[in-house]
Copies of this chain bind each other. A is one copy, B any other.
Amino acid sequence: MEVKLAKKYGFCFGVKRAIDIAEKNKHATTFGPLIHNAKEIERLQRDFDVNLSESLSQAQKFQSVIVRTHGITKSDLQTLQNQKIHIVDATCPFVTKPQNIVEKMSNEGYQIVIFGDSNHPEVMGVASYGEDVLIVGNVEELEHVKFKKKVALVSQTTKQPKLFGEIAAFLASRVNECRVFNTICNATFDNQSAVDALSREVDVMIVVGGKNSSNTKQLLKIAQKYCKDSYLVEDEKELQEEWFANKNLCGVTAGASTPDWIIQNVVAKIEQI
């Protein structure tokens, strides 16, 4: 089976940076998964003794706590700071940015609207920096909201610009002033454009990434638009031979938290089919 890789795929700047930080902090723990990729977290544990604490109380048992790429809530950060634990901040700078914006705009009296998934750790972290915060997944959820005169809008880094624009448009016509901060990450967008292009020319499409990764799921959704035979796998073991029956060209892309070594394994396995 012939394989064609997307023009842009895999690790983004923030994930690369977080892994570099983790590798330099042996014996520390992350509070929550460092990135949304279980295989990479296993590797960091095995090769660098970087542990994973799922709760704050568990994390507090370590001398060093690494704050994951998606960030944590303001109150969790304060709890760790009060314990005088050594904190290593691996929050992606593109996530720190909306955190700072939300805090500043909230202090200036703006009502905050976040376009994102309310149960995503990044969004929960960003939201925790504001007072009067509304999290919405689409424009319909805004229909019956009573707004303040001044609203500030930010986005989860992995959301689609088109939908973000629709929410901005709605708010613009409903409130006196809407400050729109485009906090969508270009890296995500670059991977999305590349999969959009590739999915139009292949017979089958494999998206490699964590099943709980928001940006990986977005890639799958985009791929399925032009290539209905699109599948999400976490590693090469999940590939099923029947997906490739009577196909000539297989496209491959990967989420922003998928390490190269996993992508290489997946490509090698497909080429053998």
In Å, the complex CA distance between A243 and B79 comes to 77
Residues of chain B within 8 A of A13, CB atoms compared: none
A165:B172 contact, CB within 8 angstroms: yes
Q: Does A224 contact B (CB under 8 A)?
A: no
A173:B162 contact, CB within 8 angstroms: yes
In Å, the complex CA distance between A177 and B154 comes to 10
Smallest distance from the beta carbon of A144 to chain B beta carbons, Å? 18
Q: Does A142 contact B (CB under 8 A)?
A: no
Q: Does A161 contact B (CB under 8 A)?
A: yes
Residues of chain B within 8 A of A171, CB atoms compared: 168, 180
Count of A interface residues, CB-CB < 8 Å: 22
Smallest distance from the beta carbon of A204 to chain B beta carbons, Å? 31
B182:A180 contact, CB within 8 angstroms: no
Query: Closest B-chain residue to A166, C-beta based?
Result: B169
Given A168-B168, A169-B168, A170-B165, check contact A180 B181 (CB 8 Å).
no
In Å, the complex CA distance between A44 and B173 comes to 36
Q: Does A74 contact B (CB under 8 A)?
A: no
Residues of chain B within 8 A of A162, CB atoms compared: 173
In Å, the complex CA distance between A83 and B231 comes to 75
Residues of chain B within 8 A of A164, CB atoms compared: 172-173
Which residues 146-199 of A have a CB within 8 angstroms of B? 153, 161-162, 164-166, 168-182, 184
In Å, the complex CA distance between A166 and B176 comes to 16
Given A168-B169, A172-B168, A173-B161, check contact A179 B182 (CB 8 Å).
no
Query: Closest B-chain residue to A176, C-beta based?
Result: B182
Query: Closest B-chain residue to A160, C-beta based?
Result: B173
In Å, the complex CA distance between A153 and B177 comes to 10
Query: Closest B-chain residue to A151, C-beta based?
Result: B180
Interface residues of A, Cβ cutoff 8 Å to B:
153, 161-162, 164-166, 168-182, 184
User: What are 19 pairs between A and B in contact, CB < 8 Å?
Assistant: A161-B172, A161-B173, A162-B173, A164-B173, A165-B168, A165-B170, A165-B172, A165-B173, A168-B172, A171-B180, A172-B182, A173-B184, A175-B182, A176-B181, A177-B180, A178-B180, A179-B179, A179-B180, A180-B180
